Structure 1
Amino acid sequence: MIPARFAPVLFGFLLSGLMSFVVSGIATWRAAGLPEGFLGVWMGAWLSSWLVAFPTVLVVAPVVRRIVARVTFQPPAEDR
């Protein structure tokens, strides 16, 4: 088991991995079609995408959390 204090990093690692996997697959397919060796091209695109996505998520997530906190509100307890 991983200690709970690492949850934000693990969340960013998994989220960036899955999102970059899907997005790079779609982008590779749109750019190259389905040629011979598509899987290898996709995996190369995914790895380079993930190497950018993971640190980006770690930096951007706190900023996004602050933006979300500013544009949302918590209703009073009696309204919930």
Structure 2
Amino acid sequence: MAASKRPTIIGHIPKLPGKWALIVIPFFLSSLMSGIISLINMLRNLGWFDGFIQLWLYNWMISWAIAFPIVVTLLPFVRKFASLFVDMAPPK
């Protein structure tokens, strides 16, 4: 009888257990949102110029450092508020 193998990400690195989704999802969501918003705001306000990417990456990391803890902190409250409008019961 073969032992059950955990799914892997790359090579032999195992995937995180499901409970980590509470941190991983906000991590990726805050990354994408802060990156896209900072890119759009910089393009609108400064336009494209030499060194744009470096300045954008710098500003993005600052935005992300603020966005990630805010998303993790507020997510339980947002879920509770959303449940006032959406039936959050799992489908039967």
**Normalising by structure 2, what TM-score?**
0.76
* Relative contact order higher in (CA < 8 Å, ≥ 6 apart): 1
RMSD (Å), alpha carbons:
1.7
Decide which structure has greater helix share.
1
- List alignment gaps of at least 5 residues for structure 2: 1-14
The count of aligned residue pairs is: 76
- In structure 1, stretches of 5+ residues that fail to align are none
In structure 2, C-alpha distance between the alignment counterparts of 1:59 and 1:5, rounded to whole Å? 16
Runs of 4+ in 1 over 4 A off after TM superposition: none
Per-residue CA deviation, residues 15-58 of structure 1 (Å, 9 max, x unaligned), is: 00011110010011112110111001110110000000000000
- Give TM-score scaled by structure 1 length: 0.86
Larger radius of gyration: 2
CA contact (8 A) 1:16 1:50 kept: yes
